[in-house]
């Protein structure tokens, strides 16, 4: 097994290697003066099982090109197998044509590019929608990170008043899985968007009075939706509102907005490089992904990872 990464995700890859008991392999990435990416593998990979760690996060297009070029380099160097470890799968929100608008299905295009580059398998975390796996003709391992927040709340002192909240109808299944593991009830925020990143209205389905609410979502981008949801829950009688969002995109002034919101705490993973704050707490995916990679390498079941 050989683990590679681009310079952007080196710290996370190093932590991943520590849990796997191996060292990070040598790959150099640079740029020509016109912005073209220049990449070179600095050790032999012939006959090896190669894992390339790279989130498709900001700068999204550069990081996408890096992982594509790395795969092509490994393929031409005769690697036995090439696995993409993509903690955050960029472009996943563009997974369909809404009401037949003249838009691309960008998630499918990215899937086509990854397969054409030579990847044999994709390992990712909390895909925005599970059906994206159907865009691929190679195995896709969608690792669920809910165990991170479940560990945080298993010994929650106000467990009798804990309530899991889905921030939209599409995320009910994800939130329901956490509610089931924590043996608590579920509420849903029904939100209507006017445009991307803009919420026109919100309505609450469920009773949150006297509850400690935990919002479960796959990502937080601008933070506006999360802040509005926290306002709604507090106005409806919730005692406190926290959230777990796997992928901290946190674009623009999101950090400031979260700090000024009524949220008590926002838990995020390190699928994207993000700075913590007084309200933002980072939980590492490294042990979970290391366990998944080890099981893949040894041809063992991944479903056993989630056994209670």
- The helix/strand/coil state of 288 is helix
111 and 191 part of one domain: no
Residue 274 · residue 282 · CB < 8 Å: yes
DSSP H helices, the chain, are 10-20, 60-76, 106-117, 146-153, 172-182, 224-235, 254-260, 286-297
Mean pLDDT of 127-145: 94
Residue 32 CA: distances (Å) to CA of 38, 65, 307: 7, 14, 48
62 and 189 part of one domain: no
Q: Quick one: pLDDT at residue 222?
A: 92
Q: Is the pLDDT of residue 197 over 70?
A: no
Q: Which residues contact 100 (CB under 8 A, 6 or more apart)?
A: none
Structure tokens at 184: 């608590």
Residue 122 · residue 140 · CB < 8 Å: yes
The DSSP line for 84-147 is EEESS-TTTT--S-GGG-S---HHHHHHHHHHHHT-SEEEEES-SSGGGGGG-SS-EEEE--HH
118 and 222 part of one domain: no
pLDDT category of residue 218 using cuts at 50, 70 and 90: very high
| Diameter of the chain measured on Cα atoms | 61
131 and 46 part of one domain: yes
Q: How many C-beta neighbours within 10 Å does residue 108 have?
A: 17
Give the strand pairing for 240-248 and 212-220.
Answer: parallel
DSSP single-letter state for residue 18 = H
Per-residue pLDDT tens for 98-131? Answer: 776 889 999 999 999 999 999 999 999 999 988 9
**Count of structural domains, the chain:** 2
Cα(9)–Cα(269) distance, integer angstroms: 14
Structure tokens at 265: 């705490």
Catalytic residue among 191, 262, 275, 291: 191
pLDDT category of residue 240 using cuts at 50, 70 and 90: very high
Q: Which of 77, 81, 104 is nearest to 93 (CA)?
A: 104
263 and 150 part of one domain: yes
176 and 137 part of one domain: no
Is residue 191 part of the annotated active site? The answer reads yes
pLDDT category of residue 202 using cuts at 50, 70 and 90: confident
118 and 252 part of one domain: no
Residue 164 · residue 187 · CB < 8 Å: yes
Cα(304)–Cα(308) distance, integer angstroms: 9
Cα(90)–Cα(1) distance, integer angstroms: 26
258 and 291 part of one domain: no
127 and 214 part of one domain: no
Beta bridge partners of 286: none
CA 41 to chain centre: 27
91 and 205 part of one domain: no
> Hunting for tokens 């927040």 — which residue is that?
149
pTM above 0.85, yes or no: yes
116 and 214 part of one domain: no
> Hunting for tokens 């299905």 — which residue is that?
105
Q: Which domain holds residue 294?
A: 2-144+287-306
CATH number of 131's domain? 3.40.50.2020
Q: Is the pLDDT of residue 194 over 60?
A: no
Mean pLDDT of 139-147: 94
CA 68 to chain centre: 19
98 and 201 part of one domain: no
């Amino acid at each position: 097994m050989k683990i590679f990464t681009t310079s952007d995700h080196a710290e996370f890859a190093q932590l991943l290697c520590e849990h796997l008991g191996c060292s990070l392999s040598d790959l150099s990435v640079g740029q020509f003066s016109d912005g073209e990416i220049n990449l070179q593998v600095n050790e032999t990979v012939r006959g090896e099982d190669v894992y390339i760690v790279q989130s498709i996060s900001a700068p999204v297009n550069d990081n996408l090109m890096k992982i594509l070029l790395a795969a092509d380099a490994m393929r031409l160097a005769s690697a036995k197998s090439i696995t993409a470890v993509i903690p955050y799968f960029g472009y996943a929100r563009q997974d369909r044509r809404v009401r037949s608008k003249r838009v691309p299905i960008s998630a499918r295009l990215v899937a086509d590019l990854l397969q054409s580059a030579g990847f044999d398998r994709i390992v990712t975390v909390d895909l925005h929608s599970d059906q994206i796996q159907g865009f691929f003709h190679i195995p896709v391992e969608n690792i669920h990170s809910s165990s991170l927040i479940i560990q945080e709340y298993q010994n929650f002192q106000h467990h009798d008043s804990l309530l899991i909240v889905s921030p939209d109808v599409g995320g009910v299944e994800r939130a329901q899985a956490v509610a089931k593991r924590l043996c608590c009830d579920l509420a849903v925020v029904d939100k209507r968007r006017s445009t991307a990143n803009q919420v026109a209205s919100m309505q609450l389905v469920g009773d949150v009075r006297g509850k400690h609410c935990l919002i479960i979502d796959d990502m937080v981008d601008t933070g506006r939706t999360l802040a509005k949801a926290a306002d709604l829950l507090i106005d409806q009688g919730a005692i406190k509102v926290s959230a777990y969002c796997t992928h901290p995109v946190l674009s623009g002034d999101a950090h400031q907005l979260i700090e000024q919101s009524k949220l008590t705490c926002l838990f995020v993973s390190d699928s994207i490089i993000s700075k913590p704050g007084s309200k933002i707490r980072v939980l590492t995916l490294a042990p979970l992904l290391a366990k998944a990679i080890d099981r893949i390498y040894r041809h063992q079941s991944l479903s056993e990872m989630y056994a209670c």
